[in-house]
Structure 1
Amino acid sequence: MRFRFNNIAARVRRDQRGATAVEYGIMVSLIAVVIIVAVTLLGGTLKETFNSVQCSVKGGAYTAATTTGGVTTDGSCSK
């Protein structure tokens, strides 16, 4: 009986499939958090960059967005 218990306990210690799945789950969730934070922090800057590139491709000059008296105006493209 004791041999059987030791044999089962040894098999359980060697089997780490569940632990590996948990580790992958934690890794995926941390990567998702990093992506969400990066998009939140860089979202406005990326929008301005893409608008500038779009304007340049069209052959115009891009004027960045401005804030005056609490009112924000969008960037504009002029030729």
Structure 2
Amino acid sequence: MLTNIWGKVKGLWQEEDGLGMLEMILIIAALVVIAVVFRDQLKIIVDNLLKKVSSKSSTFIDEK
């Protein structure tokens, strides 16, 4: 009996099925929902990052 259970456990461990279409759709849907919910915060973060990149690149170009 223990051998039978161990064989099933090993079978589950070695199973290497890829992600199905349903899982991919659920992951994409979750990412879209998160992006919609935190849209304003994400916009602020991206704007701040772009301002920093712009200022750093300006100082780098002006030094040469």
User: What TM-score results when the alignment is normalised by the length of structure 2?
Assistant: 0.44
Higher strand share: 1
Task: Kindly name which structure, 1 or 2, has the bigger radius of gyration based on alpha carbons.
Answer: 1
- Between Structure 1 and Structure 2, the one with more helix by share is 2
Higher relative contact order (CA 8 A, sep 6+): 1
